[in-house]
Amino acid sequence: WLKRGLTTPCGTSVAAMPLFDFSKTLAQWRSTIRDAANQQWLAVCCLCREHDDEDEEQERALRRKLVEEAGCGAVRRTMLLEHKRSEDMLGVYSIEPKVVGRGGYGTVRKATLTGSGKKLKRAVKEVRKRSLHSANLTQREIGVLRSLDHPNICRLFESYEDKKNIYLVLEFIEGRDLFDELQDDIVKRLTSETRFDEDFTAHIMRQVFSALAYCHGHGIIHRDIKLENIMVCQPEGPDADMPVVKIIDWGLAVISQAEGFRTQRVEGTKAYLAPEAREEGDFSPGSDMWSTGVVLHILLLGSFPTPADPHPVMAGTEALSLSALDLLEGLLKFNPAERLTAASALKHPWIMARDGVRSENTGIELRRQATCSFVSFFQAEKLRQAALTAVAMQISSDHLVKACAQFKAVDLNGDGVISKEEFLQAFKSSFVEGDAAHTHEQWVQACDAIFDEVDTDGSGEIEFTEWEAAALGNIDGISDEAIKAAFRVLDYDRSGKISLQNLARVVRQNSDEIANWLPQFDLNGDGEIDFDEFKAMFRTKAAAAAGDLCKPVFQAS
């Protein structure tokens, strides 16, 4: 908008904006543009409710376009491919015939990326277009998943569509849902080998609250939180005793305004629905929190709460700690305005006291490793940053256990994103304290420059994929299979090479700037990047000490 002199989504000329000032920082411009885009996005959401079903596709496309253009470098979303030919999927994925999951609108099968030797697994969700309603729900799920980026939310890779079906290619989660886990535990309790004590349950619920705090903060309501939609997987590595949670099935999720979402249908699973959702069709972040209260009640007490006004009846609470009971009561308030939010549940003493806090020395070392990754990403060329992002999107988080530990060490409030304050705190504990060579102001400027570079979509926070891309720059042994998968995403026209036009689609710079970067990686000088040249981008990794890495940052800032 700034370059072309166009108007903002609100209709105001950029040049006429009262804040127009060329001395503004990039971060301030991003914030101004993003706020304007969000206002238009909310207006589109209102229009969608007033229009008939025939108009929903046009409004949905406009909303998605506004979201993707809201930042100055929305790289991740441009790499989530949408295909209009399902035949193309057959050459990309090997899909097993066995159904591994079944829902109200579709089935799920396991698949592997062709040529990956079964190393890159995917889940393919097939939804038949039985009605306009089912098709719209699926398209809405795709739109929601495109906008979510959190370690405890199932990841969308791409989608395909034909006349009869819509296919979502999702992260394959090696694990079972919480319902099956609990059933096994009930059997084990006969021999006193239970896992679901308060400590283990708190570990599960912390991840659920983190995912919901993130999506509620982005205006999204899940509307179907239940045991069956919470997957539990066991990662490999030093933290293998503590499982990772992934929330799945976003088919009923909605992008909502502050006052919530109302429907004429009874949608969701009745036993988990909040009173206002079950009786009046009113959904809000508070209705999601009631559902988490039901989940917590089942995990701790083995039964559903009995609804009652103003408080549900909870039997068997004598065995619970007072802190656990306080959290349950806060989640199951009859009035949604009085319920705990996901962000406040994350800070509840019952969660905080049982979250497996690492030693201070371990935390400092993990934060130091993470900040070194950020600095390396800052120094990397734009094309290499895009390549790292593409690879990060092809790797499941359970394959990066050590790197995930670094992320958690920086994400101090546990909401699944890294704020600028958390980022600065990580640098302060790693490098700033004891550094007499630079002033505090110089460190703040350096951190701002690095943060803006890693925050590729200009959202004001570092999301999970952005962080993964930075972490990959300092990790040895990125698999050829992941690199091939990333190359396919960037080679959008399937020519076998990444052209200038392909790069312009994912890198938010003009063609002249991209053309200036290309020769560094275009080793044979043909004006395009083939797979061998693309693979060569990952052969070098920063190996300098942390202090040395920061020197160019001070110079740049």
Catalytic residues: 224
**Cα 70 to Cα 41: distance, rounded to the nearest angstrom:** 10
Q: What three-state secondary structure class fits 263?
A: coil
Pairing of β 121-128 and β 165-171? antiparallel
Which pair of tokens denotes residue 371? 């900040």
Strands (E) in 12-119, as ranges, are 81-83, 93-102, 106-113
Within 10 Å of residue 103's Cβ, how many Cβ atoms? 15
Phi/psi of residue 272, nearest 5 degrees? -105, -5
226 is in an annotated binding site: no
Contacts for 148 with CB less than 8 Å, ≥ 6 apart: 214, 215, 218, 220, 250
Query: Residue 433, CB half-sphere, CA atoms under 13 Å: how many?
Result: 9
Q: What three-state secondary structure class fits 408?
A: helix
Spatial CA neighbour of 473 closest among 404, 395, 542: 542
**Cα 262 to Cα 278: distance, rounded to the nearest angstrom:** 11
**Cα 173 to Cα 235: distance, rounded to the nearest angstrom:** 10
Calculate the CA 117 to chain-centre distance: 27
**Cα 167 to Cα 231: distance, rounded to the nearest angstrom:** 21
- Give the DSSP per-residue string, 448-481: HHHHHHH-TT-SSEE-HHHHHHHHHTT-S---HH
Residue type, 166: I
Question: Binding-site residues for ATP, please?
Answer: 125
Question: Binding-site residues, please?
Answer: 125
